[in-house]
Protein backbone atom coordinates (compact mmCIF):
# COMPACT_ATOMS: atom_id res chain seq x y z
CA UNK A 1 0.00 0.00 0.00
CA UNK A 2 1.05 3.56 -0.67
CA UNK A 3 0.93 6.16 2.11
CA UNK A 4 0.96 9.94 1.69
CA UNK A 5 2.23 11.87 4.71
CA UNK A 6 1.72 15.60 5.28
CA UNK A 7 4.02 17.45 7.65
CA UNK A 8 6.89 15.08 6.85
CA UNK A 9 9.51 17.68 7.77
CA UNK A 10 8.08 18.13 11.27
CA UNK A 11 9.05 16.41 14.51
CA UNK A 12 6.53 13.58 14.20
CA UNK A 13 6.63 13.54 10.41
CA UNK A 14 10.36 12.81 10.25
CA UNK A 15 9.97 9.82 12.55
CA UNK A 16 6.99 8.54 10.55
CA UNK A 17 8.82 8.96 7.23
CA UNK A 18 11.87 7.11 8.54
CA UNK A 19 9.90 4.29 10.18
CA UNK A 20 7.61 3.71 7.19
CA UNK A 21 10.58 3.75 4.80
CA UNK A 22 11.79 0.58 6.53
CA UNK A 23 8.35 -1.07 6.44
CA UNK A 24 6.34 -2.86 3.78
CA UNK A 25 4.56 0.40 2.92
CA UNK A 26 5.59 2.81 0.19
CA UNK A 27 5.56 6.31 1.65
CA UNK A 28 5.65 9.78 0.10
CA UNK A 29 6.36 12.62 2.50
CA UNK A 30 5.30 16.19 1.83
CA UNK A 31 6.22 19.45 3.52
CA UNK A 32 6.37 23.11 2.68
CA UNK A 33 8.60 25.65 4.43
CA UNK A 34 11.27 23.09 5.39
CA UNK A 35 10.83 20.65 2.50
CA UNK A 36 14.06 19.08 1.23
CA UNK A 37 14.60 15.69 -0.44
CA UNK A 38 13.23 13.13 0.17
CA UNK A 39 10.36 15.37 1.38
CA UNK A 40 8.38 16.77 -1.55
CA UNK A 41 7.25 20.39 -1.42
CA UNK A 42 3.45 20.73 -1.37
CA UNK A 43 1.30 23.59 -0.12
CA UNK A 44 -1.58 21.80 1.59
CA UNK A 45 -3.49 25.09 1.74
CA UNK A 46 -3.75 24.94 -2.06
CA UNK A 47 -6.75 22.67 -2.64
CA UNK A 48 -6.09 22.25 -6.35
CA UNK A 49 -2.44 21.36 -5.85
CA UNK A 50 -3.33 18.81 -3.18
CA UNK A 51 -5.92 17.10 -5.36
CA UNK A 52 -3.53 16.98 -8.31
CA UNK A 53 -0.81 15.52 -6.09
CA UNK A 54 -3.15 12.81 -4.84
CA UNK A 55 -4.28 12.07 -8.40
CA UNK A 56 -0.66 11.73 -9.50
CA UNK A 57 0.51 9.53 -6.61
CA UNK A 58 -2.71 7.56 -5.89
CA UNK A 59 -2.17 6.84 -2.19
CA UNK A 60 -4.29 4.26 -0.37
CA UNK A 61 -3.80 6.08 2.94
CA UNK A 62 -3.17 9.71 3.89
CA UNK A 63 -1.63 10.52 7.27
CA UNK A 64 -2.33 14.17 8.01
CA UNK A 65 0.35 15.26 10.49
CA UNK A 66 0.85 18.85 9.32
CA UNK A 67 -0.40 21.32 11.93
CA UNK A 68 0.39 24.35 14.03
CA UNK A 69 0.89 22.55 17.36
CA UNK A 70 2.12 25.43 19.56
CA UNK A 71 -0.75 26.80 21.69
CA UNK A 72 0.79 30.27 22.00
CA UNK A 73 1.37 30.48 18.25
CA UNK A 74 -2.24 29.50 17.60
CA UNK A 75 -3.48 32.22 19.93
CA UNK A 76 -1.23 34.85 18.35
CA UNK A 77 -1.89 33.88 14.71
CA UNK A 78 -5.36 32.38 14.91
CA UNK A 79 -6.49 32.86 11.31
CA UNK A 80 -3.29 31.38 9.91
CA UNK A 81 -3.48 28.46 12.35
CA UNK A 82 -7.12 27.84 11.40
CA UNK A 83 -6.15 27.53 7.74
CA UNK A 84 -3.57 24.88 8.56
CA UNK A 85 -5.36 22.99 11.34
CA UNK A 86 -8.93 23.11 10.05
CA UNK A 87 -9.24 24.25 6.42
CA UNK A 88 -6.52 21.92 5.09
CA UNK A 89 -8.09 19.04 7.04
CA UNK A 90 -11.53 19.71 5.61
CA UNK A 91 -10.11 19.83 2.10
CA UNK A 92 -8.12 16.60 2.55
CA UNK A 93 -11.17 14.88 4.01
CA UNK A 94 -13.26 15.88 0.98
CA UNK A 95 -10.63 14.64 -1.48
CA UNK A 96 -10.09 11.37 0.39
CA UNK A 97 -13.85 10.75 0.53
CA UNK A 98 -14.21 11.26 -3.22
CA UNK A 99 -11.24 9.05 -4.05
CA UNK A 100 -11.82 6.30 -1.45
CA UNK A 101 -8.59 7.03 0.44
CA UNK A 102 -8.26 6.20 4.13
CA UNK A 103 -7.52 9.36 6.14
CA UNK A 104 -5.60 9.25 9.44
CA UNK A 105 -5.82 12.61 11.20
CA UNK A 106 -3.33 13.38 13.99
CA UNK A 107 -5.07 15.14 16.87
CA UNK A 108 -4.23 16.00 20.47
CA UNK A 109 -5.09 15.36 24.12
CA UNK A 110 -5.87 19.09 24.34
CA UNK A 111 -9.37 18.45 22.98
CA UNK A 112 -10.17 17.54 26.62
CA UNK A 113 -10.35 19.80 29.68
CA UNK A 114 -8.25 17.56 31.92
CA UNK A 115 -10.81 17.45 34.70
CA UNK A 116 -11.76 13.75 34.91
CA UNK A 117 -9.07 11.45 33.50
CA UNK A 118 -8.65 8.90 32.11
CA UNK A 119 -10.39 9.98 28.90
CA UNK A 120 -11.93 7.32 26.68
CA UNK A 121 -12.13 7.75 22.91
CA UNK A 122 -15.87 8.51 23.06
CA UNK A 123 -15.76 10.98 25.97
CA UNK A 124 -17.09 14.43 25.18
CA UNK A 125 -14.30 16.90 24.31
CA UNK A 126 -14.10 20.27 26.04
CA UNK A 127 -10.96 22.16 24.96
CA UNK A 128 -9.65 24.96 27.17
CA UNK A 129 -7.63 26.88 24.57
CA UNK A 130 -7.76 27.85 20.92
CA UNK A 131 -5.29 25.16 19.89
CA UNK A 132 -7.56 22.48 21.32
CA UNK A 133 -10.57 24.14 19.70
CA UNK A 134 -8.97 24.09 16.25
CA UNK A 135 -7.83 20.48 16.53
CA UNK A 136 -11.34 19.51 17.64
CA UNK A 137 -12.76 21.41 14.65
CA UNK A 138 -10.42 19.35 12.47
CA UNK A 139 -11.77 16.18 14.07
CA UNK A 140 -15.30 17.31 13.27
CA UNK A 141 -14.37 17.86 9.62
CA UNK A 142 -13.15 14.27 9.48
CA UNK A 143 -16.02 12.68 11.39
CA UNK A 144 -18.76 14.44 9.46
CA UNK A 145 -17.39 13.96 5.94
CA UNK A 146 -19.86 11.75 4.12
CA UNK A 147 -18.38 8.59 2.65
CA UNK A 148 -14.96 9.05 4.29
CA UNK A 149 -13.03 6.16 5.84
CA UNK A 150 -11.12 7.66 8.74
CA UNK A 151 -9.06 7.31 11.89
CA UNK A 152 -8.45 10.11 14.37
CA UNK A 153 -5.32 9.48 16.44
CA UNK A 154 -4.97 11.64 19.56
CA UNK A 155 -1.41 11.97 20.88
CA UNK A 156 -0.12 14.15 23.77
CA UNK A 157 3.12 16.16 23.93
CA UNK A 158 5.75 14.70 21.62
CA UNK A 159 9.52 14.56 21.77
CA UNK A 160 11.99 13.00 19.35
CA UNK A 161 15.32 13.32 17.61
CA UNK A 162 15.98 16.89 16.52
CA UNK A 163 18.74 19.31 15.59
CA UNK A 164 17.10 22.09 17.61
CA UNK A 165 16.10 21.74 21.26
CA UNK A 166 13.29 24.27 20.88
CA UNK A 167 11.43 22.06 18.39
CA UNK A 168 9.70 20.10 21.14
CA UNK A 169 7.96 21.22 24.34
CA UNK A 170 10.00 18.52 26.11
CA UNK A 171 13.50 19.18 24.79
CA UNK A 172 13.12 22.95 25.13
CA UNK A 173 13.09 22.30 28.88
CA UNK A 174 16.60 20.89 28.61
CA UNK A 175 17.62 23.99 26.66
CA UNK A 176 16.29 26.12 29.52
CA UNK A 177 18.25 24.00 31.99
CA UNK A 178 21.50 24.53 30.08
CA UNK A 179 20.86 28.27 29.82
CA UNK A 180 20.13 28.56 33.54
CA UNK A 181 23.44 26.87 34.33
CA UNK A 182 25.38 29.00 31.85
CA UNK A 183 23.85 32.28 33.03
CA UNK A 184 23.59 31.25 36.70
CA UNK A 185 20.00 32.48 36.77
CA UNK A 186 17.00 30.78 38.29
CA UNK A 187 14.48 29.27 35.88
CA UNK A 188 11.00 28.27 36.95
CA UNK A 189 9.54 25.03 35.63
CA UNK A 190 5.84 24.22 35.72
CA UNK A 191 5.06 21.75 38.50
CA UNK A 192 1.29 21.81 38.10
CA UNK A 193 -0.07 20.14 34.96
CA UNK A 194 0.54 16.44 34.47
CA UNK A 195 1.94 15.43 31.10
CA UNK A 196 2.58 12.14 29.30
CA UNK A 197 5.57 12.76 27.00
CA UNK A 198 5.39 10.48 23.96
CA UNK A 199 8.36 9.40 21.87
CA UNK A 200 7.89 10.06 18.15
CA UNK A 201 9.49 6.72 17.25
CA UNK A 202 6.84 4.91 19.29
CA UNK A 203 4.02 6.95 17.72
CA UNK A 204 5.39 6.19 14.25
CA UNK A 205 5.51 2.50 15.03
CA UNK A 206 1.94 2.60 16.23
CA UNK A 207 0.87 4.32 13.00
CA UNK A 208 2.40 1.45 11.06
CA UNK A 209 0.27 -0.94 13.08
CA UNK A 210 -2.86 1.14 12.35
CA UNK A 211 -2.07 1.03 8.63
CA UNK A 212 -1.38 -2.71 8.79
CA UNK A 213 -4.76 -3.27 10.37
CA UNK A 214 -6.43 -1.35 7.54
CA UNK A 215 -4.45 -3.39 5.01
CA UNK A 216 -5.61 -6.58 6.74
CA UNK A 217 -9.34 -5.94 6.90
CA UNK A 218 -10.06 -2.68 5.03
CA UNK A 219 -12.02 -1.30 7.98
CA UNK A 220 -11.69 2.16 9.50
CA UNK A 221 -11.08 2.15 13.26
CA UNK A 222 -12.45 5.58 14.23
CA UNK A 223 -10.89 7.41 17.18
CA UNK A 224 -7.76 6.00 18.84
CA UNK A 225 -5.42 7.18 21.60
CA UNK A 226 -1.67 6.67 21.84
CA UNK A 227 0.22 7.99 24.85
CA UNK A 228 3.51 7.67 26.71
CA UNK A 229 3.12 5.54 29.82
CA UNK A 230 4.91 7.84 32.31
CA UNK A 231 3.31 10.86 34.00
CA UNK A 232 5.44 13.91 34.76
CA UNK A 233 5.21 17.64 35.23
CA UNK A 234 7.66 19.79 33.29
CA UNK A 235 9.68 20.21 36.49
CA UNK A 236 9.91 16.45 36.89
CA UNK A 237 10.99 16.05 33.26
CA UNK A 238 13.83 18.51 33.86
CA UNK A 239 14.86 16.60 36.99
CA UNK A 240 15.04 13.38 35.01
CA UNK A 241 17.01 14.95 32.15
CA UNK A 242 19.43 16.66 34.54
CA UNK A 243 20.14 13.40 36.35
CA UNK A 244 20.64 11.45 33.13
CA UNK A 245 22.96 14.09 31.66
CA UNK A 246 24.72 14.84 34.95
CA UNK A 247 23.65 18.48 35.03
CA UNK A 248 23.11 20.70 38.05
CA UNK A 249 19.61 21.60 39.22
CA UNK A 250 20.84 24.48 41.38
CA UNK A 251 19.17 27.07 39.15
CA UNK A 252 15.86 25.25 38.56
CA UNK A 253 12.83 26.05 40.69
CA UNK A 254 9.40 24.40 40.75
CA UNK A 255 6.63 26.76 39.59
CA UNK A 256 3.36 26.01 41.42
CA UNK A 257 1.39 29.01 40.20
CA UNK A 258 -0.08 29.24 36.71
CA UNK A 259 1.99 31.74 34.70
CA UNK A 260 1.13 31.01 31.05
CA UNK A 261 -1.26 33.22 29.09
CA UNK A 262 -2.70 30.07 27.47
CA UNK A 263 -4.83 27.87 29.72
CA UNK A 264 -3.80 24.23 29.73
CA UNK A 265 -5.63 21.17 31.06
CA UNK A 266 -4.47 19.64 34.35
CA UNK A 267 -4.39 15.95 33.44
CA UNK A 268 -5.40 14.62 30.00
CA UNK A 269 -4.49 10.98 30.51
CA UNK A 270 -5.75 9.21 27.38
CA UNK A 271 -7.06 5.68 27.83
CA UNK A 272 -5.71 3.12 25.35
CA UNK A 273 -8.42 0.56 26.15
CA UNK A 274 -9.71 0.60 22.58
CA UNK A 275 -6.25 -0.23 21.23
CA UNK A 276 -6.17 -3.30 23.45
CA UNK A 277 -9.67 -4.28 22.30
CA UNK A 278 -8.53 -4.05 18.67
CA UNK A 279 -5.33 -5.99 19.41
CA UNK A 280 -3.16 -3.13 18.19
CA UNK A 281 0.48 -3.27 19.21
CA UNK A 282 1.25 -0.65 21.86
CA UNK A 283 4.96 -0.94 22.66
CA UNK A 284 6.46 2.16 24.27
CA UNK A 285 10.03 3.17 25.10
CA UNK A 286 10.85 4.30 28.64
CA UNK A 287 11.36 8.04 28.99
CA UNK A 288 14.92 7.67 30.27
CA UNK A 289 15.97 5.50 27.34
CA UNK A 290 14.26 7.65 24.70
CA UNK A 291 15.34 11.04 26.04
CA UNK A 292 18.97 9.91 26.27
CA UNK A 293 18.80 9.03 22.58
CA UNK A 294 17.25 12.41 21.77
CA UNK A 295 19.78 14.39 23.83
CA UNK A 296 22.89 12.43 22.86
CA UNK A 297 24.31 15.29 20.76
CA UNK A 298 23.52 18.06 23.25
Is residue 56 domain-resident? yes
Is residue 86 domain-resident? yes
Q: Which residues contact 140 (CB under 8 A, 6 or more apart)?
A: none
Is residue 237 domain-resident? no
Q: List the Cα angle 3/8/10 in 5-degree steps.
A: 150
Is residue 153 domain-resident? yes
Is residue 25 domain-resident? yes
Task: Quote the number of domains for the chain.
Answer: 1
Is residue 88 domain-resident? yes
Average predicted confidence (pLDDT) for the chain:
96
Considering only CA atoms, which of 199, 196, 66, 71 is closest in space to residue 127? 71
> Residue 259: pLDDT above 80?
no
Is residue 134 domain-resident? yes
DSSP structure class, residue 248: -
pTM: 0.97
Condensed to tens digits (0 to 9), the pLDDT of residues 64-94 reads 999 999 999 999 999 999 999 999 999 999 9
Average pLDDT over residues 91-102: 98
Is residue 260 domain-resident? no
Task: Provide, rounded to the nearest whole percent, the portion of the chain with pLDDT above 70.
Answer: 100
What is the residue range of 50's domain?
Answer: 2-160+197-228+268-284
**CATH number of the domain residue 133 falls in:** 3.40.50.720
User: Coil, helix or strand for 98?
Assistant: helix
How far, rounded to the nearest angstrom, does the alpha carbon of residue 164 sit from its chain's CA centroid? 17
Condensed to tens digits (0 to 9), the pLDDT of residues 170-197 reads 999 999 999 999 999 999 999 999 999 9
Condensed to tens digits (0 to 9), the pLDDT of residues 118-166 reads 999 999 999 999 999 999 999 999 999 999 999 999 999 999 999 999 9
Q: Which residues contact 103 (CB under 8 A, 6 or more apart)?
A: 61, 62, 64, 92, 93, 96, 142, 148, 149, 150, 151
Amino acid sequence: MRVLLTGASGLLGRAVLSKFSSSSFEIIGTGFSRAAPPVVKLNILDAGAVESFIDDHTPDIVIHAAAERRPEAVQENYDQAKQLNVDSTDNLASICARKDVYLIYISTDYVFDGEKPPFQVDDKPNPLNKYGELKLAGETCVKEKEGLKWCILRIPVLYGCTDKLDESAVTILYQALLQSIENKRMAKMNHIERRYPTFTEDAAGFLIRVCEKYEEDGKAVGVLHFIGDECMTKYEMVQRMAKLKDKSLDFIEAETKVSSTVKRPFDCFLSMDKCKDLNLQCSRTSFDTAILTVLQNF
